Structure 1
């Protein structure tokens, strides 16, 4: 029987956490499960999605995609600051609060309270020290809070234009120890727990207004700081031998000659962009330690929810914005310039004790499905969502129907759904910008070679298993100005490059079936079908702003 109450919603997110790869060795898996009781408690009560994918990379594009239900081609957040560009770089595009409604707006329209705690990164909402670009910090170097500065953020309520309340900055981003995930995540957990307790007190007093609460953690994103000396507890664990043996990826020494050329170029240049990240045992142990570190805070939040009167009537989502390569595929790190499983395949759990039975969902799903599915579970079916989109179009300049699918009926029926095709895109050229000097060396570097923009489909709709097909290209919207249409020819003449994998036959993605030496292994009917699917997905999902205010042809003059 369906719950008579509209569900509350708690979205718990991490940053840079990949779905455990098929090559995870037994010791690593056992250690991870033993040291992640928070995730395991959520998983026990959840539908566990086995094939869930991000819609974009990296951090900012992925998060804007999650919370708007649209791709970067429409919401505009195509870049992530941090290497070649700062938040204020001319080539950095943030979400404008008046262009698209966010999840907060959608649920506020249904009468929900909306709260956001933790990492945001869809726009730059830091309070700044006057006359500088320096963010007002709310934590000391040791992680202790600065109460008066926290009070400043509370009063400012900087995310209100984006449909949310309660955000306390600054963005946990950059190279300051005071702002890393290990220091900021405890405070985020405390904020979420306090919010849950306040909401529970109101509920016990008779207030039945539902809420959406986002609990957005940073780690394991601190992997970018590997070998920085301020992680004392990790160093103690290494010396004591308390961390497991974690094998390198089987593709760590892969020759990338048969892959799109930007991958090898990025792998060779990454140490120049930021910090060298050698693929050694301690590096991989650090990533697992960070996963366990943030789980302490996930567990605290979930245990607090379990003590609340509305636990049974609360949908809990656990996921990550995107994954992490961790040295796989010829020494790739982070998440740029590829669509490998380590980057795009992410964990996703969804629980709703009052309505949904725990289990596994094996169908293909995407971050684009999150918003329409939550709306569906909250009682807003497809016709209601369409009507809401039409209403939003009178307020927001680029409001449009949501791209993803409402999976609510599949989840209620414990159904894996029908074969389908997912779309992924990335225009994030993180190393380019006004400050193209290495963070560690302070020496200038060259941008990663083109073609390096990519779009990918993952499909279960064709014979022979699950297929992944990617096109790498020089996007004219960036080479010829941000107002240019995607479909215009690229004057530079850079030819597109392609990747194709059968994920069932080649789960490690070692054999690029589009490479000249392997092309004969890809049946021509499958190739033609993949090209058609990519074109269809691009046409239906890769939306462009309606208000370009430029004649696309003039950009090529």
Structure 2
């Protein structure tokens, strides 16, 4: 056989092998790159206490500047109509952890314990190989506000722990450190100390191959309003505070003074959020971290002649809700109109992390909505079973209620009949109650039907509040508080 011909054949075979080897190597590189881009995202939930949705500069509040939150909002999905379905501390927190509504998980008031056998967000993330941690206010144990939430079942699956059951003393406040049973005291303003603890946690994860799920739970801007560091309090002059149009004249002086302190707490948190995000970027974790910023409920602060929470008004029930989502998930940033509720946070986070959602969850997974694949969240429920609550006072017209909220209307019904109807589009301060108004008869009828349809879907019998107390074995004392009796 011709020698030159044999050489040509050998060269051809050699070239084919080289091409195949090169192609195989490129495919391996592509697979590796794809794996890097689709590694499980980290999750950081920044939970605040009593921060109403209106109180940021990105939401248009003229009294406060929140530059770090504004920057986060620019790169996030903003659920501008998000609500706290039962606007008081413990119910929201239990819904966040379980993805269930309060009448299902049983924490429909403060200071009762969440079932230690509950299927919680931490337990689910643990099974997926995540490191889980909790820092700050807990308010789900019900055994005394300054007592230790002991390691084990009572911490609902969280592995790392530096927290307290509940305190509103934000300077040198109580906390417990992981497995140490001895009471500890934060050195200064706890918003700062808790932020530094979270940053230390994030730094430890810099070289870790395991993703993390961390909840950082601040006690502020909840009252007492005047305990932020002096440099923040000095920024706000009560005389220059612009009140909302639904604050009665009789409360003007008090509301301005308290709002000045409220905004001081908010300014301090905003600085800490900037510090957190800066450190996330420094550790290289920012691009692959879902950041949620929200609150357990709002604060009336004089609006409608009342303070604090529990009522269905906008200042009480509507909460900030930002979802900063990694770019590789290809979800467009910007405002969304859907009414995300408390129980929807857990399933949405699981959906974004491609984790199966437990059958115990009742909330909505908003990932398909965010991807433009389905339309949900046109209406949602607000619930209160506590006419004896500390803030839901009868003298303010309060009562047990069920309310349905849409993107335009809020309709609330008490046990004896219709209570409130607001057209939030033309009456954003909810000054004009339209119940019984002839021009809104059809709207009221439609909202009534929608409310009862939703109650039927959720199995809510709308009983008097004391019926739920009896059902769950709780008791109340003469002040309306609920000692731990579960």
Do both share a fold (TM > 0.5)?
Answer: yes
CA distance in 1, matches of 2:405, 2:206: 41
Q: CA deviation at 1:294?
A: 1.4
Structure 2 residue 41 is the aligned partner of structure 1 residue 7: yes
* Partner deviation per Cα, 1:252-274 (whole Å, 9 max, x = no partner): 1289xxxxxxxxxxx9xxxxxxx
1:11 to partner: Cα distance: 0.7
Decide whether the 8 Å contact of 1:249 with 1:328 is kept in 2.
yes
What residue in structure 1 maps to residue 128 of structure 2?
110
Match for residue 123 of structure 1 among 141, 165, 171: 141
Supply the distance in 1 between the matched residues of 2:292 and 2:225 (Cα, whole angstroms).
Answer: 29
**Count of residues in Structure 1 that have an aligned counterpart in Structure 2:** 416
1:350-381, CA deviations, whole angstroms, 9 ceiling, x for partnerless residues?
Answer: 1122323322212322222211111111113x
1:348 Cα offset (Å): 0.9
Pair 1:25–1:192, CA change in 2 (3 A): closer
Report deviation, 1:281: 2.7
Aligned mate of 1:50, from 74, 80, 83: 80
Q: Residues 40-86 of structure 1: CA distance to partner in whole angstroms, max 9, x if unpaired?
A: 23212211222111111211112112221112211111222xxxxxx
One of 97, 110, 113 as aligned partner of 2:116 = 97
Match of 1:193 among 188, 199, 208: 199
Distance verdict in 2 for CA 1:21–1:216, change over 3 Å: closer
Structure of greater Rg: 2
Cα distance in 2, alignment partners of residues 24 and 213 from structure 1: 25
Q: For residues 49 and 340 of structure 1, what CA distance do their matches in structure 2 show? A: 18
Q: Which runs of 5+ in 2 are unaligned?
A: 1-33, 175-185, 462-467, 473-486
CA distance change for structure 1 residues 367 and 219 in 2, over 3 Å: closer, same or farther?
Answer: same
Give the Cα separation in 1 of the matches to 2:137 and 2:211.
23
2:249 paired with 1:249: no
Match of 1:423 in 2: 381
- 1:160 to 1:451, Cα distance in 2 relative to 1, 3 A: closer
CA contact (8 A) 2:45 2:291 kept: yes
Residue number in structure 1 paired with 2:221: 220
Q: Secondary structure at the match of 2:312?
A: coil
Which whole-Å CA distance do the structure 2 matches of 1:278 and 1:289 have between them?
A: 17
CA distance in 2, matches of 1:368, 1:172: 22
8 Å CA contact retained: 2:58, 2:73:
no
Please give the alpha-carbon distance, in whole angstroms, between the structure 2 residues aligned to 1:24 and 1:297: 17
SS in 1 for 2:254: coil
Distance 1:297 1:168 in 2: 17
Residue 325 of structure 1: which of 297, 300, 308 is its match? 300
CA pair 418-166 structure 1, distance change in 2 beyond 3 A: closer
Distance 1:312 1:135, change over 3 A: same
3-state DSSP of counterpart to 1:522: helix
What does residue 401 of structure 2 align with?
Answer: 454
* TM-score when normalising by structure 1: 0.67
Secondary structure of 2:214's match? strand
Unpaired stretches in structure 1, ≥5 consecutive residues: 81-86, 88-92, 127-132, 137-152, 256-266, 268-276, 390-399, 433-437, 439-445, 461-465, 474-494, 553-557
Q: Note the C-alpha offset of 1:101.
A: 1.2
- Give 1:496-507 correspondences, 5 Å limit: 496-507=417-428
Q: Secondary structure at the match of 1:217?
A: strand
Distance in 2 of aligned mates of 1:160 and 1:364 = 31
Deviation at 1:170, TM superposition (A): 2.6
**RCO higher in structure (CA 8 A, sep ≥6):** 1
1:197–1:21 distance in 2 versus 1, CA, 3 Å = closer
Q: 1:534 aligns with which of 446, 451, 458?
A: 451
- Is 1:168 the equivalent of 2:162? yes
The partner residue of 1:472 within 399, 403, 414 is 414
